[in-house]
Structure 1
Amino acid sequence: MRSIHPVINIIKKKFSGQFIRNVGWLSISEIIYRVLRLGLVVIIARYLNRHDYGLGAIIMTVREFSLTFADIGISAKIIQAEEEELEDLCNSAYWLSWVVFFSLFVIQSIAAFPIAWFYKSPNLILPIIVSGIAYLIWPLSTIQKTLIQRENRLKVIAIANSAQNFTGSILTAIFAVLGMGVWSLVLPSILISPLEPLIYYRAQSWRVNTGFTTKSWSQIFKFGKNILGVSLLRTLRNNLDYLLVGRFVVKQGVPEYGIQELGLYFFGFNAGLGISLSIINAINSAILPHLCAVRSELSELKKSYFSSLKTIRATIIPFVILQSSLAHIYVPIVFGKKWVPAIPIVILICLSAIPRPFADAASQLLIAVGKPHLDLYWNIIFTFLFSITILIGVNLQFLGVDTSVLSVHLGEHWQIIVVAISVLLVHIVFLPLFTLWATNYVFPKTKKI
């Protein structure tokens, strides 16, 4: 039995080091993107008005909801699959991805009309339709990208992301300077979409080798239904404040006031959570294959999981505290004085980033041990709590609250500041509770490791 321990130690070091490298590559990619994005935000903050920002927020929200349906568990299933079932699974998943993406394009195009009616802004219709064109290109490389992630070669994904982000940021800046308004936020993602297939086809040799087949679709649906449910709920939470602010924040005599306030809120959200969210996304992309690689050994899984939490703690908390404490300094200097009213939102949303990656790691842990349904149940509960909190925050005036006091203390934009406070409170109260529960569920103190 003693001879096993050196082998286990080697495996542990290998995957621990691989995880750190993967997080490093993805973090570098995301940081490069956010640095570019920072310069981009500076440019578009000076060339786009709040109304354009508001329209852009709605279009991006629609796009994010559509993309949530794009991965109905395909990636997670391929990453988790055993080697002997991988080829059949990839062939079926390839054709399924085409069906899904094409359907999303059609549905989004049809949905553009009621969305424009809901926000009373017909200018939304064409940008929403056009933004979906990229969906008809991405299926070409969906499987290659997932296989690269399964192989823990996240350096390739980092390079692809950097290439797309760099090109997209440059195009957005050019279009904004040219006075293209909201179109500067829509067109670049379409123009850069061919880059992804070009990079992943070169990096991964897999090619579809069957005609149209539905052989493994039921297997993918069975595995992915809980993951899709979680993704939908997470997307709803991430965008619910946008949806409500744009529609229910009103001011008598000011047409489309809600969209203007949404523009201010959207700027504050991106300035506050942008770089932090990039690091969180990098960690999330690396943690599932990292945990799945050692899930058969409970002791190694536990060590890998807690090592991941330490990495999160060492990167996220110091950065968020530094960023939020300097908001009063860098917002007027970098973005311009017209965005000073967004500073409270920047600080509040920035602080809400602290518990997010810990809860995301706990969710990935449940998926790694084959319990995605528990993650779904939690997300249903949390989405309900989040929705109630945001609805209360955005409708205080209809609940009999003396909003004149809030207006005096928080200023003209008190409504969106209250929404940001609600976002912070619901995250710092409930996400740590879930993280503790999920950790203790998988690694109970009574279970012998």
Structure 2
Amino acid sequence: MPNSNSLKQKTMKGLFWSFMDLLAKGGMQIIIQVILARILLPEHFGLIGMVIVFIALSNLLVDSGFSRALIRDENTTQEDYSTVFYFNLFVSLLVYVLLFLCAESISLFFGEPQLILIIRVLSFVIIINSLAIIQRIKLVKNIDFKTITLTSVVAVIISGIITITMAVLGFGVWSLVVNMVSMQVIQTVLLWYYNKWIPSLVFSSNSLKKFFGFGSKLLVSDLIDTLYNNLFYIIIGRVYTKTQLGYYTNAVKFRDFAALSISNTVERVAYPVLSSIQNDEDRLKAAFKKVIKTSAFINFPLMVGLATIATPLFSIVLGEKWLPAVIYFQLLCIAGMLYPTHITNLSILQVKGRSDLFLLMEVIKKVNLTVLIILSLYLKLGIIGLISATLLNTFISLFVNTYFSGKEISYSTKEQIKDLFPTFALSIVMGIIVFTVGSLLPFNHYMNLTIQIILGVSFYMIICKLMKNEELKTVYSILIGLLLKVKLTLNKGVSIEADALVDERSTENKRQKVG
């Protein structure tokens, strides 16, 4: 078991590079997406939205739940890695052939002939991704997010340049297809170049069985979760127009840039760190509690804030043609408030090896969502009704997730809600004030947006300061550490000595506060 200082250094290093990934990769993706949204039409994004679910499900089948099983395992051998690598590659080839053959049927289902070739080309991503799974797993296990971040950023920049060029030249939806394929190709090549891991010519059925019990349940759970998360693409694409699907697709994408960036950062760092202390109940509970409170402190006001400024934001950034997507975006942001909380609770079950409970929870939540979706379709509530069903299910799921995970670490639903409620309430109050002021301001979108952002941030920070909020202190401490690491990285590069200096600076800050 890692000692406290070593774990702290690894965690800070992981947070640093995940934060850099959020700023660099996420920032570049937003810029590229904004440029594409201004050049392309909503229907182009709608066509991609029709095939997203098939690519997402295929990637899960290829992984088969083995990634998290390998990350959790403390004694993984070269034989284990090699076996899983060949298994992933074999499954990816089978899935590609299946999608190739089914492309025409999928096209007929949506009534879009263009989808046949789009699916057959885009499906190459599945094979390419299978080649990078083990490379990424080894980096995550070592909490080496520096390499992951660097490869991601380079891939985003190069593929973005290619995509924008194609969009300007009039390639339409094919610029989006090439973006997805080229990004995965570049990142996979870079991961192989930097990681230097090579599979051995060995395949062990024992290794496969070793991880199958844990991974298979996660696979079924992930398939259910991904299918339902992407189900609206299928429903909207089949029942409504591709233009409406385009509005929904980009509303989801821009919400996810914020919500999932934070959620994925939390999960990427928290899961391997929590796994490393899985046998120390007290440390595990304390670390878990700190993670969900800190992530909520950041994500709650961010999601509420984005919902309140959506109209001027979309008008300025994307243009007037995307304003019909505002209401979708607002509802999706409210639903995204709890994403980091959900992910961290689910991570605890994986850390504890309770993939059986993980699967049971997904079944319960999806049955509930199915009822809500059927109800919204029966009442003909439209796309707004479908998204509202997701919003309601997100809050219901909080009770399901916290109940099962809470039993594993003696941190009940009541305790979690009690810890999260002050931040939730403050964020809602902040959102009401910002939205009300924005609706009364007589200025243009640029001025309104500026005033709303300043007002929202100032109000939230001042109230947190007055309440002596512990998460504010935690975030401040993390930011100080991150800024120091940025400075050290620019001057000397990331090193063990840099980690020691970060830890020393954080300790000194705490001494000053105590004094």
Q: Fold match, TM over 0.5?
A: yes
Task: Using the TM superposition, give the Cα deviation of residue 294 of structure 1 relative to its aligned residue in structure 2, in angstroms.
Answer: 0.3
Contact 2:80 2:207 in 1 (8 A): yes
In 1, Cα distance between the equivalents of 2:161 and 2:205?
40
Distance 1:86 1:22, change over 3 A: same
2:70 aligned with 1:78 = yes
Distance 1:296 1:124, change over 3 A: same
In 1, Cα distance between the equivalents of 2:52 and 2:12?
31
Contact 1:78 1:86 in 2 (8 A): no
Question: For each residue in 1:316-350, what CA deviation from the matched residue of structure 2 results, as whole angstroms up to 9, or x when unmatched?
Answer: 11211221121111101110111111111111101
Contact 2:58 2:126 in 1 (8 A): no
Contact 2:131 2:188 in 1 (8 A): yes
What is aligned with 1:335? 318
Task: Using the TM superposition, give the Cα deviation of residue 215 of structure 1 relative to its aligned residue in structure 2, in angstroms.
Answer: 4.1
SS in 2 for 1:193: helix
Counterpart AA for 2:353: G
What is aligned with 2:403? 437
What is aligned with 2:335? 352
What is aligned with 1:135? 126
* Unmatched runs of 5 consecutive residues or more in structure 1: 1-7, 250-257, 398-402, 404-414
Task: Using the TM superposition, give the Cα deviation of residue 207 of structure 1 relative to its aligned residue in structure 2, in angstroms.
Answer: 1.8
Question: For each residue in 1:28-71, what CA deviation from the matched residue of structure 2 results, as whole angstroms up to 9, or x when unmatched?
Answer: 21332332222222222222222212101112222112112121
In 2, Cα distance between the equivalents of 1:58 and 1:225?
27
Counterpart AA for 2:24: I
Counterpart AA for 1:288: Y
Contact 2:88 2:130 in 1 (8 A): yes
Contact 1:359 1:434 in 2 (8 A): no
What is aligned with 1:427? 394
What is aligned with 2:302? 319
Counterpart AA for 1:12: S
What is aligned with 1:23? 15
Task: Using the TM superposition, give the Cα deviation of residue 444 of structure 1 relative to its aligned residue in structure 2, in angstroms.
Answer: 2.5
351-360 or 22-31, larger mean C-alpha shift: 22-31
SS in 1 for 2:361: helix
Contact 1:272 1:345 in 2 (8 A): no
Distance 1:111 1:135, change over 3 A: same
Contact 1:355 1:431 in 2 (8 A): no
In 1, Cα distance between the equivalents of 2:339 and 2:269?
16
Distance 1:315 1:16, change over 3 A: farther
Contact 1:96 1:214 in 2 (8 A): no
Following superposition of structure 1 onto structure 2, how do residues 188-207 of structure 1 map, counting pairs within 5 Å? 188-207=179-198
Q: Which portions of structure 1, spanning 4 or more consecutive aligned residues, are displaced by more than 4 angstroms? A: none
In 2, Cα distance between the equivalents of 1:374 and 1:129?
36
In 1, Cα distance between the equivalents of 2:376 and 2:162?
37
What is aligned with 2:160? 169
Contact 1:246 1:259 in 2 (8 A): yes
2:350 aligned with 1:384 = no
Q: Quick one: which of 350, 354, 379 aligns to 1:396?
A: 379
Identical pairs, percent: 23
TM-score normalised according to structure 2 size: 0.76
Q: Quick one: which of 173, 177, 181 aligns to 1:186?
A: 177
Question: For each residue in 1:61-87, what CA deviation from the matched residue of structure 2 results, as whole angstroms up to 9, or x when unmatched?
Answer: 22112112121122112212232x422
Q: Quick one: which of 259, 270, 275 aligns to 1:276?
A: 259
In 2, Cα distance between the equivalents of 1:142 and 1:309?
27
Question: For each residue in 1:391-423, what CA deviation from the matched residue of structure 2 results, as whole angstroms up to 9, or x when unmatched?
Answer: 3223423xxxxx7xxxxxxxxxxx222222222
Counterpart AA for 2:16: G
Contact 2:24 2:153 in 1 (8 A): yes
Distance 1:329 1:203, change over 3 A: same
Counterpart AA for 1:226: K
SS in 2 for 1:122: coil
In 2, Cα distance between the equivalents of 1:56 and 1:103?
22
TM-score normalised according to structure 1 size: 0.86
Counterpart AA for 2:386: V
What is aligned with 1:39? 31
Following superposition of structure 1 onto structure 2, how do residues 221-240 of structure 1 map, counting pairs within 5 Å? 221-240=212-231
Following superposition of structure 1 onto structure 2, how do residues 19-168 of structure 1 map, counting pairs within 5 Å? 19-83=11-75, 85-168=76-159
Distance 1:445 1:356, change over 3 A: closer
22-31 or 113-122, larger mean C-alpha shift: 22-31
Q: Which has the higher contact order (CA 8 A, sep 6+)?
A: 1
Following superposition of structure 1 onto structure 2, how do residues 355-374 of structure 1 map, counting pairs within 5 Å? 355-374=338-357
Task: Using the TM superposition, give the Cα deviation of residue 16 of structure 1 relative to its aligned residue in structure 2, in angstroms.
Answer: 4.0
In 2, Cα distance between the equivalents of 1:163 and 1:387?
40
Counterpart AA for 1:286: V
